[in-house]
Amino acid sequence: MKKKIWLVIIFAIGITWFVLANKFEDAIRTTYLPLLQEQQEKGLVTLDPNNIKIHKYRFTIVGKDFTAFPESDLFKTKLDKISVFYNPITRNISFCSSGEKLSFGSNELEVSIVNPSFSFTINKSFLKENKNNFHISLNSKAQELLSSTNNAVLVSDNGSSYGITGNLDEKTNQYSLKLTTNTKGINLTRDYFKWSNQLANKLFEVTPEDQKMTDFVNDFSADYYYIMTPGNSVDSDKLYY
């Protein structure tokens, strides 16, 4: 008798999984792939449809050679492989790095992470128009941010997690936001300050007349942190802004 009950339960789970998997695939093909195509037409993303694979029974989409903001020199983001996982039970969506390189920017300001390891998760409420209750989390393992021009380490992260939770109290009509962070240590090197100043110059379009003063401030900032932090690094736990 017990064996039959277990067989019925397993059969029911299998049927449910089959139905949910087909709904997942249908939603991807009829809703989200057309939405992605719209974003490509607007020039916001670049992703060849032939590089998208749907693994419906794992509720996963894998995309290769993904680029966000391809026309921007400063905000261009390239990832050679990304996986998107949908949890049919919690209905959360997770974006996970699964490639060998993630890069930001272009030319002399381009920075990259080799073998990036991060996951970005949003709950179903965030995807709805009614965002009364939502949660967003970002988790990353130990990794380094490198300058693409000389491969110098700009930032080393020993592992971090961040979370944002939003809740609406319908009785008082007050909205509360909660931010949680947990870092195991982030080190900023001397090269980071030089790079960040170059980025600021690009963003604010520093004129040649201001360049001498800017170069002086850049060198002074880098030298200051180099002197103040033995080992040529700055531990984020000791920085307060």
Q: What is the pLDDT of residues 149-167, one digit of tens each?
A: 888 999 888 888 888 888 8
Q: Give the pLDDT confidence of 71-101 residue by residue, as tens digits.
A: 888 889 999 999 999 998 888 899 998 788 9
If you search the block for the tokens 């800017």, which residue do you land on? 214
Please say which residue of 139, 154, 184 terminates a domain.
184
What's the chain's Rg over C-alpha atoms? 23
pTM, two decimals, is 0.73
Q: pLDDT class for 14, splitting at 50, 70, 90? A: confident
Say if residue 71 is in the same domain as residue 173. Answer: yes
- Residue among 140, 65, 138, 75 at smallest CA distance from 111: 75
Say if residue 147 is in the same domain as residue 123. Answer: yes
> Which region, left, alpha or beta, applies to residue 8 given φ > 0 means left and ψ of -120 to 50 means alpha?
alpha
Neighbouring CB atoms inside 10 A of 34's CB total 9
Q: Which residues constitute the domain of residue 231?
A: 189-241
Say if residue 84 is in the same domain as residue 170. Answer: yes
Q: How far is residue 173's CA from residue 93's CA, in Å, rounded to a whole number?
A: 28
Residue 188 is encoded by which pair of tokens? Answer: 């900023």
Say if residue 144 is in the same domain as residue 210. Answer: no
Q: Give the pLDDT confidence of 29-56 residue by residue, as tens digits.
A: 998 889 888 988 888 898 888 899 999 9
